[in-house]
Chain A
Amino acid sequence: QQPVQSPQAVILREGEDAVINCSSSKALYSVHWYRQKHGEAPVFLMILLKGGEQKGHEKISASFNEKKQQSSLYLTASQLSYSGTYFCGTVRPGNQFYFGTGTSLTVIP
């Protein structure tokens, strides 16, 4: 039931791009993305809804393939502040909400 994220960890140099993937085996109503820094609470990044609606930060981009139950988060021109663990959260019909296991992103100078 928990969505699967890939990769589990990635290291980038400042300015490089990264893609984080989230996959579910069940039909989804929406996908959420959050970033958590060590010892802190997760912070909302984006929601992608069935039908194409998106809500979130302007500098973050993501996609949601409803048929494949997959979502991808695109991080471009990475900055040091992008470091953290990224979680996707999947919402199934009936409001069942599950977080993925996370992707650790480290940006180095």
Chain B
Amino acid sequence: DGGITQSPKYLFRKEGQNVTLSCEQNLNHDAMYWYRQDPGQGLRLIYYSQIVNDFQKGDIAEGYSVSREKKESFPLTVTSAQKNPTAFYLCASSMKIAGGNEQFFGPGTRLTVL
């Protein structure tokens, strides 16, 4: 079955540690996205990638980094520079970038920084 996988589902880290969230898709989509969701709030765009080896900052990129070395994979690193990293992180993909293409979401990773 085609889809998007994110791992792990729950992640706990100590303050000051970097952590990498995995996102893999087998939908053959060009575009991939990372969102952050805080309780009772909407989704805010962290980074997006239109194509392999290219990515752009979203609204809240500070303290995060990404790479897009393969079409299927778009990992997100939450660095120690992110002041409040505890949140629900969602990865998504679409056939092409935004516009007229629906986004398919992974199940999310809930990150808690202690």
Considering only CB atoms and an 8 Å cut-off, how many residues of chain A contact the other chain? 26
Complex contact B105–A55 (CB within 8 A): no
**Chain A residues whose C-beta falls within 8 Å of the C-beta of B44 in the assembled complex:** 99
State whether A87 and B106 are in contact (beta carbons under 8 Å apart), knowing that A95-B99, A97-B98 are contacts in the complex. no
In the complex, A98 has a CB within 8 A of chain B: yes
The 8 Å CB contact of A87, one of B43, B45, B97, is B43
The answer to whether B102 and A2 have CB atoms under 8 Å apart is no
A95 cross-chain contacts in B, Cβ below 8 A: 50, 97-99
Residues A102 and B107 in contact in the complex (CB < 8 Å), given A42-B90, A47-B102, A49-B100: no
Whether, in the assembled complex, B103 has its beta carbon less than 8 Å from a beta carbon of chain A, the answer is yes
- When the two chains form their complex, are residues A42 and B100 in contact, meaning their CB atoms are under 8 A apart? no
Per-residue A-contact encoding for B64-75, CB less than 8 Å = 1, 0 else = 000000000000
Residues of chain B contacted by A30 (CB below 8 angstroms): 98-100
Point out which of A41, A42, A43, A89 has the most chain B C-beta atoms below 10 A from its C-beta.
A41
Measured CB to CB, the residues of A under 8 A from B are 1-2, 29-30, 32, 34, 40-44, 47, 49, 53, 55, 87, 89, 91, 95-102
Q: Measuring CB to CB, which residues of chain B are less than 8 angstroms from any residue of chain A?
A: 33, 35, 41-45, 48, 50, 59, 90, 97-108
